[in-house]
Amino acid sequence: MIVIITGGTGLIGRALAADLVSDGHQTIVLSRAPERASGLPEGVRVERWDASTAKGWSPLAEGADAIVNLAGESIAAGRWTEERKRLIRESRLNAGRAVVQTVELATQKPRVVIQASGVGYYGPHGDQEVSEEASPGNDFLASVAREWEASTAPVKDMGVRQASIRTGVVLSAKGGALVRMLLPFRFFVGGPLGNGRQWLPWIHLADEVAAIRFLIEKEEASGPFNLTAPNPLTNADFSRAVGRVMGRPALVPAPGLAMRLAFGEMATLLLDGQRAIPRRLLDLGFAFRFPHAQAALQDLLG
């Protein structure tokens, strides 16, 4: 296969590129600064793009098997000022438009566009199980996710399959949310965030990569897919699982009010959640390697 990855220097993109190359697939990562795109595995081709147009990279999509659009400013890189929120939204919509332009220009169009999104699409849902049929929320993350998915929807009118991946919290020992979660536990002050009752829709990085590849190759896979393990936990239960694996207590809560004062609106990432279930993935026959958090954490931290 020939697979193009936008946002390919992030946690998910790097792991996906490495997995594809290891299986002998031609893998192209797009970067605004190829000279700084270090750490990618040997065999990955890095090409420049401006993250907003088809300029310079559109010929690469000619006859490609898939474009995986992961590009967008990090939602957890800093407090959500109005300027930060604008960058988060515009970076995603610009990248989506660039993908659509490129598909439009291709004579031999890619077979599929895999479009990144997040479980924030649904907004907070309390204890209710959330499958892909659930309605979208109305907060900032939900509106960004809706627009992000819609940004590449026009490719469907060009005969190109589109699948949106609503990803949860990706667990990896190499970066991302888990590494930040571990620090308090290392100093014996780990515990739940806020009241701990919010749900944590997690997924092991290996399953995230495997699910993306599954959706690339599964011709009948289109529309939204929750990329979350089938057994979400409350934040308190997840904290206890981390404590068991690390041999540390999980008794010291981080007060919700203090977190909202410290992080502002961005605290929703930590204090609100979704009991998201990957129903459509399971219905298509995808098998999770790590369906339970304890095994996932043992694999990553053992």
- For 222-268, the pLDDT digits (tens) are 999 999 999 999 999 999 999 999 999 888 888 776 667 666 777 78
Predicted local confidence at residue 225, as pLDDT? 98
Supply the pTM of this predicted model. Answer: 0.95
Each residue's pLDDT tens digit, 115-130: 999 999 999 989 999 9
Q: Which residues contact 129 (CB under 8 A, 6 or more apart)?
A: 275, 277
For 80-111, write each residue's pLDDT tens digit: 999 999 999 999 999 999 999 999 999 999 99
Three-state DSSP class for residue 21: helix
**Domain locations in the chain?**
2-168+202-229+276-289
**What contacts 128, CB < 8 A, 6 or more positions away?**
275
pLDDT at 136 over 80: yes
Residue 39 has a pLDDT of 78
pLDDT at 133: 96
**pLDDT of res. 263:** 67
Average pLDDT value for residue range 132-158: 97
Question: What is the rounded (10 degree) CA torsion for 13, 14, 17, 23?
Answer: -130
Region 20-32: mean pLDDT is 97
pLDDT digits (tens, 9 = 90+) for 194-218: 999 999 999 999 999 999 999 999 9
Long-range pairs for 81-88: beta carbons < 8 A, 24 or more residues apart: 85/140, 88/144
- Where residue 76 falls among pLDDT bands split at 50, 70, 90? confident
The better pLDDT of the pair 115, 273 is held by: 115
Task: Give the C-alpha separation, 258 to 31, whole Å.
Answer: 37
Q: Give per-residue pLDDT as tens, 166-181.
A: 999 999 998 888 988 8
Specify whether the CB–CB gap between 198 and 235 falls below 8 A: yes
Mean pLDDT, rounded, of the chain: 94
Question: For residue 7, what pLDDT is reported?
Answer: 92
Q: What is the pLDDT of residue 259?
A: 66
CATH superfamily of 2-168+202-229+276-289: NAD(P)-binding Rossmann-like Domain (3.40.50.720)
CB count, 10 Å around CB of 10?
19
Would you state the pLDDT for residue 180?
85
